Amino acid sequence: MELIRVLIIDDHPLFRQGICWSLGQEKDIEVIGQAENGAEAIKLTETLSPNVVLLDINLPGLNGLEVARVLKRRAPRMGIIVLSIHDDDEQLFNAIKAGAAAYASKEIDPTQLVGMIRDVAHGRYVINESVMSKPHVATRVLNQFRELSNVANNSEDTSSMFAPLTSREIEILDCIARGLSNKEIANQLSISGQTVKNHITSILSKLQVNDRTMAVIHAIQQGWIKLGYDESRESRSRTA
C-alpha cells in the first residue's frame, strides 16, 4: 500500500495538531510535515515532495492562494486542498484559478476530509462538486461564457486561446450545469440524443477537457471568467 504523503500549512498550531490527530488514525495517510507560513511551506514542499497539501487560505505573508500558484507551477501533479474559515463563492473561484483540486470549510467533518485527501491524491478534482452543486454559481459562470462567446465571435483576433462556444453549445452547457441528463437536454431543446452527444463532444474538444463539469473549471482556471459580481444587477434585485 502506497502512503499518501500530506503536508499541513496553517498558522494555528492547535488546528494543525487536530488534523494530525485525525489523519493519524488512517493507515494509508502520513503527515510528513507542517508549516505556519507561505515561505516555509514552499521550502518544505521542495524537500518533502508531498502528494497532497492542506493549505489555509489566510496565511501571514504570502496568502494561501499565492502559495498555491507557486506550488502548482513547481509541482503540477501535487494535489492542493484549500481550507477556509468561510464557505465563500469568491474564494472558491480564486481557489480554482490558483490550481486547487478541492476547497472546503475548516468546519469539514474529519471523515469527509480524509475522503477528500484520498480523492485528490488519486488525481480527482473534488472542486467540481463545489461549483456544480451551487446553481447561482453555475449561472454566473454560464453568463460569462455567453459574454465571452459574443466577444470572441465579433473579434478579429484569432490567436486567442479561447475557442468560442456557439449559442447552442451555451444552451447545452446551461442544461448540464442545472444537472440535466442527455435525455432531458434533448427533450428540453427538442433535439435528438445523438445531437446532444455531438454538441458535448464539441464543447469538450474546444475547451480541451475530458468531462462535462471540467469545462467550467477549465474556463475559470484560464482566467476567461471574470470573478466580480455584477453590482448593478445585485442592486436592482435588492430594490425590486
18 and 121 fall within a common domain: yes
DSSP 8-state secondary structure symbol assigned to residue 8 = E
Query: What's the pLDDT at 218?
Result: 67
Same domain membership, residue 88 and residue 26: yes
Number of structural domains (the chain) is 2
- Residue that is last in its domain, among 80, 107, 127: 127
> In DSSP terms, which residues pair with 29 in a beta bridge?
4
Q: Which domain holds residue 38?
A: 4-127
Q: Which of 47, 131, 121 is nearest to 94 (CA)?
A: 131
Q: Are 148 and 109 within one domain?
A: no
Please count the CA atoms within 13 angstroms of the CA of 128 that sit on its side-chain side: 18
Backbone angles phi, psi at 35, to 5 degrees: -140, 150
The one-digit pLDDT tens for each residue of the chain (240 residues) are 689 999 999 999 999 999 999 999 899 999 999 999 999 999 999 999 999 999 999 998 889 999 998 998 888 889 999 999 877 777 877 787 788 888 888 989 999 999 999 999 988 877 656 655 666 666 665 665 556 555 555 554 433 444 467 778 877 877 776 678 889 999 999 999 999 988 888 888 777 677 776 776 666 666 554 434 343 333 434 344
User: What pLDDT does residue 29 have?
Assistant: 96
Please indicate, yes or no, whether residues 220 and 160 belong to a single structural domain of this protein: yes
Domain-terminating residue out of 76, 102, 127: 127
Residues 234 and 186 in one domain: yes
Q: Which CATH number is 88's domain given?
A: 3.40.50.2300
pLDDT at 8: 97
- Write down the pLDDT at residue 153: 52
Identify the domain boundary among 81, 110, 127: 127
Same domain, 122 and 10: yes
> Does residue 169 sit in the same domain as residue 232?
yes
Whether residues 122 and 177 fall in one domain: no
Q: What is the pTM of this model?
A: 0.63
Residues 31, 116, single domain; the answer is: yes
